[in-house]
Amino acid sequence: MAELSERLRHLPSVDQLLRDADPLVEQHGRLRTKEAIRTALDAARTALQNGSEAPDAASIVAIAHGLLEREALPSLRPVFNLTGTVLHTNLGRALLAEAAIEAATVAMRQAVSLEFDVAAGQRGERDDHVRELLLELTGAEDATLVNNNAAAVLLVLNSLADGRQAIVSRGELIEIGGSFRMPDIMARAGVELVEVGTTNRTHAKDYAAAIGERTGLILKVHTSNYRIEGFTAEMPASDLARLARERGVPLVNDLGSGTLVDLSAYGLAKEPTVREAVAEGADVITFSGDKLLGGPQAGFIIGRRDLIAAINRNPMKRALRVDKIRLAALEATLRLYRDPDRLAARLPTLRALARPLADIEAQAQRLQPLVATTVAGIATVEVVACRSQVGSGALPTSTIASAGLALRPTQGDGRAVERLATAFRALKVPVIGHVEHNALLFDLRCLDDEAGFQDALAAGSYDLA
């Protein structure tokens, strides 16, 4: 025992160790470094008590260094999205165009004319930075914007139908990712939901019969993340718009993703454009900024001037507004749409969606040897054909031919593939694939930074045991 207490006494003190740790103090600050040294010392003490050798000062500092490095990793970190879902909600959806990143950086660094009319030298409107662009790109009469499309729907419902009814087809009562359920949003907006039709068929007469004294609006919802197929009937939006107009009730169309360009021009399935929805006669249309549009998170509300004015008068608008950083990025993103010829080259979302298959296949061939070396003895790696998804509730039933790598564990139980996935997530820059048929699949459609990926693998710690 005496010997143990002797050895414990011989451990260096926190202050001694701190003197050896100048570079750490420089990088992480005195407070955190001291804390890490204390933790490392505690561990050394416990190890001694358990009969281990006494670590020297250098190795205690090295342990503290490791703790500090881990602690310094930001929580919101870059990852490689090799899931095959281009607009992955959990991985941040759209990547921004360089022009948008630059604009956002300026807005962060400098004072900007956020609500200031520079020419007149007086107060301006925050929405004005994107209003004209939105009108030009959609053909709408007026426009405003809020935090996201969920907020847009909430604000529109509350502004136009608080204490009254909203008529929705039973085929369109959507749930999107967990907590966005149309009936719940309605209730929170103070709107009474009136369901019409059936899951698969809703007719003009169903809507017509439901319109009454207490009707605030008719809501059409894009069934973003599912399709009802088979014996179905849906009222065409233009017919619905005509009915709404005849009965003096506004028609609101929640487009969800809402694209500003015809995606079929890029070899993708046709999705109704925002301009088409405007032409069909909806009075108000809502759509997202960070889905197919390829910008930062935002919710656009476009449509009839009197209705947009009513929406802007709602005090809730202030609670849902967009900040200057995103506004700058949005303006820059929308501007890219004025030059359609170069859009696919400049907008990462469109670039990823329209990426030629041969390009992805060639990349898979190039990376196969490296990945195979990385997991040598643990898994085989094969170039495979796969199918990407747009994601975020856009084009739910159409997938895009892609290519990637399938990693199949050579031995072990059924959980070996999960362990492989975990090991790739534990890399300095985590690589996120998805597990399919007992293989870890990396769809390479979204792998833009190939060199970065190679570095991540090279720097990796492969704890595959």
Ligand X SMILES: *Cc1c(COP(=O)(O)O)cnc(C)c1O
Q: Which residues bind ligand X (CB under 6 A)?
A: 148-150, 153, 174, 176, 180, 221-222, 224, 254, 256-257, 288, 299, 392-393
Q: Which residues of 180-219 are buried (b: 16+ CB within 10 A; e: fewer)?
A: bebeebbeebebebbbbbeeebbeeebbeebbeeebbbbb
Q: Which is nearer to ligand X, 150 or 328 (CB)?
A: 150
Q: Which is nearer to ligand X, 91 or 357 (CB)?
A: 91
Q: Any idea what DSSP says for residue 97?
A: P
Q: Which is nearer to ligand X, 314 or 368 (CB)?
A: 314
> At closest approach, how far in Å is the CB of 257 from ligand X?
6
Q: Which is nearer to ligand X, 12 or 256 (CB)?
A: 256
> At closest approach, how far in Å is the CB of 266 from ligand X?
20
Q: What is the CA radius of gyration of the chain?
A: 28
- Coil, strand or helix at 84: coil
Q: Which is nearer to ligand X, 294 or 299 (CB)?
A: 299
Q: How far apart are CA 104 and CA 379, in angstroms?
A: 43
Question: Which regions of 197-283 does DSSP assign to beta strands (E)?
Answer: 215-221, 251-256
Query: In sequence order, which residues have a C-beta less than 8 Å from that of residue 176 and are 6 or more positions away?
Result: 150, 224, 225, 256, 393
Give the pair of three-digit tokens for residue 457: 């693998």
> At closest approach, how far in Å is the CB of 254 from ligand X?
5
Q: Which is nearer to ligand X, 68 or 145 (CB)?
A: 145
> At closest approach, how far in Å is the CB of 437 from ligand X?
29
* 279: number of Cβ within 10 Å: 14
Q: Which is nearer to ligand X, 220 or 408 (CB)?
A: 220
With CB atoms as reference, the residue minimizing the distance to ligand X is 256
Q: Which is nearer to ligand X, 159 or 392 (CB)?
A: 392
Question: Which regions of 235-320 does DSSP assign to beta strands (E)?
Answer: 251-256, 284-288, 299-303
> At closest approach, how far in Å is the CB of 68 from ligand X?
37
Helix 324-336 to helix 98-109 angle (10° resolution) is 150
> At closest approach, how far in Å is the CB of 245 from ligand X?
23
Q: How far apart are CA 438 and CA 182, in angstroms?
A: 36
> At closest approach, how far in Å is the CB of 394 from ligand X?
7
**Which residue is associated with the tokens 């909806």?**
282
> At closest approach, how far in Å is the CB of 180 from ligand X?
6
CB 41 within 8 A of CB 10: no
CA nearest to 89, candidates 256, 275, 325, 270: 256
Q: How far apart are CA 424 and CA 418, in angstroms?
A: 10
Q: How far is CA 70 from the centre of its chain?
A: 25
Q: How far is the first Cα of the chain from the last one, in angstroms, to the nearest whole number?
A: 37
Q: Which is nearer to ligand X, 92 or 124 (CB)?
A: 92
